[in-house]
Structure 1
Amino acid sequence: MTEPLAREPGEIAWQGWLTEAELCEVVDQWLFVPGGREALRRYLQSGSDS
């Protein structure tokens, strides 16, 4: 069994929900985890239906 995800307050400056359009607007302006931009690119290329 895996442990539930928990954020580390010292590692996250902000958390919240963005629409796909909002995320695409800020992806090149905000800091993201390593691989975050690549993961978004792959998600968008997959058709984002899943």
Structure 2
Amino acid sequence: MNKPRVNPALTIPTSTPALQSQQLFSHTREIKIEHAGEVYRLSLTSNNKLILTK
């Protein structure tokens, strides 16, 4: 019997890397992330929420 074809673009990776926010914000409430020549800021708010700004 033929197995159905699976579209590789629709497959979900089995293990996605994860970071704990405590690792990122251990000594600060804001970090900078460089991506594609742009700088983004990831901030931890007073309500313990994350905000990403360009």
What is the TM-score with the length of structure 1 in the denominator?
A: 0.31
Higher strand share: 2
TM-score, normalised with respect to structure 2: 0.29
Say which one has the larger Rg.
2
- Structure number with higher helix proportion: 1
